[in-house]
Amino acid sequence: MKILIMDDESQILKLLENYLTMLNHQVVTASDGQKGLELFLQTPDVFDLIITDFKMPGLDGISVIFRLKDEGYEIPVVFISGHRMKEEKVDTRDLKVAAILDKPFDLKRLNQIVSLVEKAESK
């Protein structure tokens, strides 16, 4: 799978990049939502999954995903957040949300989610 990861925390980006690469996924990272949006729009058909921080300075993860949806892209997304996203009043029903993980999260759980997305997308 080719995965785009967006997070403003460099340690999280590096950790996820190393972990998912070790599991034989292709990973592209962006340190903010604007960069992530630009990377996606350059080659939208190559990405199978987006993993994004919910809140980031500037363009946040939820805004990126809504923009992509407005442009007609429907891609599975895993939201990660240190802000307890589940408690926020954000309507994600129209999005293809594979999971919402609160930081810190278990990498094995993330791997399970990525595997489920991979199986669903290959059908």
pLDDT, position 77? 95
pLDDT of residue 122: 79
Residues 107-114 have a mean pLDDT of 96
Give pTM, 2 decimals: 0.91
CA distance 68 to 23: 27
Domain 10-91, CATH? 3.40.50.2300
90-103 residue pLDDT tens: 556 677 889 889 88
Chain Cα centroid distance, residue 116: 14
Computed over every residue of the chain, the mean pLDDT equals: 90
Sign of the Cα torsion 65, 66, 71, 75 reads positive
In this prediction, residue 90 carries a pLDDT of: 58
The domain segmentation of the chain, as residue ranges, is 10-91
Look at the block and give the residue holding tokens 């999971």.
99
